[in-house]
Structure formats: C-alpha cells, structure tokens
Amino acid sequence: MALNAKTAGNSQGPKQDNLEPDVYPGRLVQIIDYGLQAQKPYQGKDKPPVNVVGFTYELVTEFMKDDDGNDIEDKPRWISETMPLHNLKADKAKSTQRYKAFDPTEQYDGDFVQCLDTPVNIIVTHNKQGDKLYVNVGDVTSMNAKKALACPELKNPAKYFDLDAPDMDIFKSLPEWVQKKICENLNFKGSPLDKLLNGAPEKKVPKPVKAKPEADQEDEDIPY
C-alpha cells in the first residue's frame, strides 16, 4: 500500500462516459425515504418543508466499463432522482406520475415498496448549466407486458430505506452524502434513526412480500 496522502483514495477505476439522452430499459432497484426536508426559497419567498423520496434505477443494457472499454457485466449503470412525496390524489405531482408508471393498475394500493424490481423505461436527459453538464431522469414510463417479461433481472438486490423502521445495514451501505441528507431531515431528533445511531438496539421488521404482477397488463410500447 502506498502511504501517500495525495494519492490515497484516488483509485476509482476508469472514468465513465456520461449516459447519452435516450430511453433505457431498467428496473427500480432502490427507494430512499429522506424524510421532511427544508426547501430553498423560490423567487425570494420561503417554501414550506416537504417529505422527499429518492428512486434509483438499474439500467439493464448499460454497464460500467473496464480499462479497455469493455462492459463489466456485473456492474450495471445506475441513475437516481429525488422529489417531493405527495398523496396520490395530487394527479400532477411527479411522485404520483412515478407511482403510476410503476403500478399502472394500482394493485399495490399506493405502496412504493411493492414496486421495487418493476421493469420500466427510463428517459435520460441532459441539462447544461454553464460549464457543467447534468445527466438527469427526465421521465419514467411503464414497460409493456411483453417487454417486461423479457427484461433482464437485477444484478443487485433491490432495497429500500424507511425512516419509520430504519434498517441500519441499508443505512450504512448508502453513500455518506446520502446518510448526511437523511440525518438533516427536520424530524430527525428523537426519531428511530436518531435513537439507533445513538446506541439504541435495532428492532427488525419483516419485509413486505411483493404480490405477483398481473400478466395481462399492457402499456405504451417504447423500443429499447
């Protein structure tokens, strides 16, 4: 091991190219409950805090590249987005649009966790601000039944983090900046996560069992 403070921690593998704007098949691999978060002022006016949720998608046809530019087939590309979490009655809310893409027939009765591992189409967009290029999730749409059946399985286990019943193994597996944002939620003090981080024993809760999707569900046909 080279004990050099200037080079330590810089071995991150080859630089990966940005995903191009396109429609990619993928699966919902991760859901994160960020809790009640403060919002930035808009046009000089304060905005009330909102509950925030994060979704991560595993792209089933895009992979990290090795030094020779070849696909690392056990390391698929991920892309994430965060948004305010609203009641499903808010038809125009982005979280409602996402839920309807995951569960068009609402067979899971609004339960996002049941939607984990669902095949979807992820529309990737670019947004340039000054010299910086941001690769974003522009939209997510349902995948039709035929293509969903043919969609490759996840390479990584689907997981979720719920602030009401925090799983510390999952929490510790998240990047530090994500952990920090979760702990900045306005209800953190005295919460179950706060107590666990300060030494209280963790209470394990059973994982929900996902119901089998309806085989005859059809939706828009976006090519891979």
- Alpha carbon distance 63, 77 (integer Å): 5
Closest C-alpha to 27, from 60, 3, 53: 60
Closest C-alpha to 207, from 169, 175, 181, 177: 169
Q: What is the pTM of this model?
A: 0.82
Considering Cα of 160, then 161, then 166, then 171, what sign does the dihedral take?
A: positive
Tell me: the pLDDT tens digits for 203-224?
A: 555 555 555 544 444 443 333 3
Phi/psi at 132 (nearest 5 deg)?
Answer: -100, 135
Phi/psi at 95 (nearest 5 deg)?
Answer: -65, -35
Tell me: the pLDDT tens digits for 123-135?
A: 999 998 899 999 9
Which helix or strand (DSSP H or E) is residue 55 part of? strand 50-65
> Taking a C-beta distance cutoff of 8 angstroms, is the pair 82, 54 a contact?
yes
pLDDT given at position 43: 85
- Alpha carbon distance 33, 185 (integer Å): 10
- Alpha carbon distance 205, 163 (integer Å): 12
- Alpha carbon distance 67, 24 (integer Å): 24
- Alpha carbon distance 100, 67 (integer Å): 40
Domains of the chain, residue spans: 22-197
- Alpha carbon distance 67, 97 (integer Å): 39
Cα 136 to Cα 78, 118, 145, distances in angstroms: 11, 20, 26
3-class DSSP state of 61? strand
Phi/psi at 79 (nearest 5 deg)?
Answer: -145, 140
> Taking a C-beta distance cutoff of 8 angstroms, is the pair 82, 88 a contact?
no
Tens-of-pLDDT digits for all 224 residues of the chain? Answer: 444 444 444 546 788 999 999 999 999 999 999 999 999 888 888 899 999 999 999 999 999 999 999 999 999 999 999 999 999 999 999 999 999 999 999 999 999 999 999 999 999 999 988 999 999 999 999 999 999 999 999 999 999 999 999 999 999 999 999 999 999 999 999 999 999 998 755 555 555 555 554 444 444 333 33
- Alpha carbon distance 71, 63 (integer Å): 5
